[in-house]
Structure 1
Amino acid sequence: MKSSASSKAKPRSILPGFGISLGFTIFYLSVLVIIPLAGIFVKTSGMTPGQFWDTVASARVIASYKISFMTSFFAALINLVFGLLIAWVLVRYRFPGKKLVDSLIDLPFALPTAVAGIALTAIYAPNGWIGSLLEPLGIKVAFTPLGITLALIFIGLPFVVRTVQPVLQDLDNEVEEAAVMLGAFRLRTFRRIILPELIPPLLTGFALAFARGIGEYGSVVFISGNMPMKTEIAPLLIMTKLEQYDYKGATAIAMVMLIISFILLLLINYLQWRSNRRVITE
């Protein structure tokens, strides 16, 4: 009986200190994540339901939500395609200046967001290098939702490239060669063999780029023009409320953005889990 009980016992970890590390992790997350987020709900709870609804459902706030979420979604969607293309080129091909191109991918991580916003505004303004060429064609980038999307593409591209790139490097080329030898065309080989392996990292990169875009402020505030009902993003509206000492109104808007972002990220994580499960079963 004693031997059977010991055989069913869960083996202890080789590395000790699980309790201490778990306690430190919970404490760290509580101080940096849980408590600040809980403060948003606590501060907003001081509003009556009518005040809360009047704040978060006003026409100006709804317009800022639409601009923030729509531009972030389309920017992440564009990065999903071109991030995969760039990662594919960096992994599968050799060309002069490859290391330089690979290092430039991380530039949005290191570059201050305000600098990126000023640079994009200077380039795409009607009197800028590219904006002056687009202006005669009737294409206006700066101070439009298109400019906001462009700024979010710039800051979100590394998230997709850096999540897809390691997976492409770990793919076995022999499987692709075997598929080609068996008569599969390149498109079918990509769709049936390569793409299923890339769907989880693509969804992860999309989620990271989308989440970064929703909360982005520095690179967008310059190129957006900050026109209410047209190009005003939700983070800027929160800053405006704070400057007016309307702390409850700012936290109410932030709480709605937090809830919507959390739901969308849960949905993306669920899709990622489904795709991982499908790959394992196949």
Structure 2
Amino acid sequence: MSAISITVSHQRFHRSLLQGLALTYISFIVLLPLGVIFLEASKCSWQELWQVITAPPAIAAYKLSFYAAVLAALINSIFGVILAWILVRYEFPGKRLADGLVDLPFAMPAVVAGIALLSVYGSGGVIGQYLDPGTFIGDSLKVLGIKQVNLTSSVVGVVFAKVFVTLPFVVRTVQPVLMEIEPEIEEAAHILGASARQTFWLVIFPQILPAIFTGFTLAFARAIGEYGVVMIISGNIPYETMITSVYIYRRLEQYDYSGATAVAIVLLVISLVILICTNLLQLWSRRYES
């Protein structure tokens, strides 16, 4: 009995040690920096913080960030399901390569991604050059009253950047759910007279809907905090193409640390809300599956 009690005490000691190390690591990596943010913001009065948070350039940056993030998440929710469906249900040459390219935005540095998008969609780029004034498409748009189309230093460029960085989320959340759906379920639906469209919307779609919601939430959260790619491609024009993260950086360049911290807290609160929503969606998904 003594040997067993010694073994149990050792196990408890090691478990407590690991838990302490984990909590210490999380504290230094996450909790301490977040605490410093609030400490920096506390140097200003509530009135000063409110003026910074509700300043017209900040409000414009909030609106653009939310609009572009929601639009990018919606676009990737639609095409992410299509990509996941193709990668799971079909065999074709280069499938492994296509599956690997989905994760490329995770690995590609933001500077490289920004330069690549700028080279394609910017003025004089691979695609952007055909929209410049003097070209057939450019002159046709000019007749319609559109003097110049700029796919980079515009809201379109901001959305492009956010779509690029959030591409993998919906694909990687929907893909494993599709792989777990047994073919017998679809065969039973076909035997009962359901068409391919009815089978998808009535049988498959309800099963992947929680994963779509989770992927949308993750893509939205990632798009809200994006900085590097948007910094290069958007032009960072105040009231037009400047997002919140770039606005924070501009405040830091002006040595306005308290102002930058105040706006950063707004993004922090939004991130916490998104995190809570993601956890609730995952809980709902597990309940739905059970």
Taking structure 2 as the reference length, the TM-score comes to 0.86
Deviations 1:63-104 (A, max 9, x none): 111111211111011101101100110110011111111111
Cα RMSD, aligned residues only:
1.9
Summarize the alignment of residues 106-125 of structure 1 with structure 2, pairs less than 5 Å apart: 106-125=103-122
Looking at structure 1, the residues matched to 17 and 191 of structure 2 have their Cα atoms a distance apart, in angstroms, of 54
What amino acid sits opposite 1:45 in the alignment?
A: S
Match of 2:66 in 1: 69
Matches within 5 A, 1:218-233: 218-233=228-243
Output one character per residue of 1:34-53: Cα deviation in whole Å (capped at 9) or x when no partner. 22112111110111011101
Contact 2:210–2:284 (CA under 8 A) maintained in structure 1 = no
Give 1:79's aligned amino acid: N
Q: What runs of 5+ residues in structure 2 fail to find an aligned partner?
A: 1-7, 133-137
Shift of 1:54: 1.0
Q: Are residue 126 (structure 1) and residue 123 (structure 2) matched? A: yes
Q: Give the 3-state SS of the residue equivalent to 2:85 in structure 1.
A: helix
Partner of 2:43: 46
What is the number of equivalent residue pairs in this alignment? 267
1:132–1:278 distance in 2 versus 1, CA, 3 Å: same
2:203 maps to 1:193 = yes
CA distance in 1, matches of 2:180, 2:16: 34
Deviation of 1:206 (Å) = 1.4
Q: Which moved more, 1:263-272 or 1:49-58?
A: 263-272
SS at match of 2:166: helix
| Matched AA of 2:19 | L
2:177 corresponds in structure 1 to 167
Shift of 1:22: 2.7
Contact 1:203/1:272, CA 8 A, preserved across alignment: no
Partner in structure 2 of residue 97 of structure 1: 94
Is the aligned partner of 1:182 residue 2:192? Answer: yes
Distance in 1 between residues matched to 2:221 and 2:281, nearest whole Å: 16
- Match in the other structure for 2:25: 28
Alignment of structure 1 residues 134-149 onto 2, 5 Å = 134-135=131-132, 136=138, 137=141, 138=146, 139-149=149-159
Q: SS of 1:94's equivalent?
A: coil
Task: Please say which of residues 120-129 and 213-222 is displaced more in the overlay.
Answer: 120-129
Greater mean deviation of Cα atoms: 181-190 or 146-155: 181-190
Q: Which residue of 1 aligns with 2:219?
A: 209
TM-score (normalizing by structure 1): 0.88
Instruction: Give the gaps of 5 or more residues in structure 1.
Output: 1-11
Counterpart of 2:256 in structure 1 is: 246
- Give the SS at the match of 1:205: helix
Q: Which amino acid aligns with 1:83?
A: G
Distance 1:22 1:183 in 2: 55
2:266 to 243, 251, 256: 256
CA contact (8 A) 1:67 1:233 kept: yes
Which residue is equivalent to 2:3? none
% same residue: 47
* 1:58 alignment partner, one of 55, 58, 77: 55
Deviations 1:147-170 (A, max 9, x none): 110111111111111121112112
1 CA distance for matches of 2:174 and 2:20? 33
Whether the aligned pair in 2 keeps the contact of 1:143 and 1:223 (CA below 8 Å) is yes
Question: Once the 2 structures are TM-superposed, how far is the Cα of residue 268 of structure 1 from its aligned partner?
Answer: 4.5
Letter in structure 1 aligned against 2:163? I
By how many angstroms is 1:275 displaced?
A: 4.8
Deviations 1:107-161 (A, max 9, x none): 1111111111111112111221111223414443110111110111111111111
SS in structure 2 of the partner of residue 225 of structure 1: coil
